[in-house]
């Protein structure tokens, strides 16, 4: 468990320094060790969101919400991205 905590700390510092690819790599290492790790999955979603890959971000936020339905931040992010996607894909709405 200490290994995961060490990786998470390193990844958090990288994220705060906006070294997103390095942070992503470390969060992915955590998910390889523990695929259901809530924080790592959420932060992978955050990184994809930061770099503009909304589809991947949404996928990870949904995974977090599936693992922990009461995860407020993930649920807010899901709503936010769905709103953005609905706005940019207005042709998907049925009149």
Structure tokens at 13: 């510092």
d(CA 3, CA 52): 30
The closest of 9, 72, 82 to 42, measured between CA atoms, is 72
**Cβ 37 vs Cβ 28: under 8 Å:** no
* Packing angle, helices 54-67 and 38-50, rounded to 10: 160
Are residues 5 and 34 in contact, defined by beta-carbon separation less than 8 angstroms? no
pLDDT in tens, the chain (95 residues): 589 999 999 999 999 999 999 999 999 999 999 999 999 999 999 999 999 999 999 999 999 999 999 999 999 999 999 988 777 665 555 44
Contact 33, 10 (CB under 8 A): no
pLDDT of residue 88: 67
Q: What is the pLDDT of residue 2?
A: 86
């Amino acid at each position: 468990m200490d290994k995961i905590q060490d990786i998470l700390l390193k990844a958090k510092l990288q994220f705060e320094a906006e070294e997103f690819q390095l942070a992503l790599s470390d969060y992915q290492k955590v998910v390889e060790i523990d695929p259901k790790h809530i924080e790592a999955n959420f932060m992978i979603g955050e990184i994809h969101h930061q770099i503009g890959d909304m589809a991947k971000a949404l996928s990870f936020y949904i995974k977090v919400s599936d693992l922990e339905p009461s995860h407020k931040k993930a649920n807010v992010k899901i709503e936010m991205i769905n709103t953005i996607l609905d706005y940019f894909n207005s042709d998907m709405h049925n009149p």
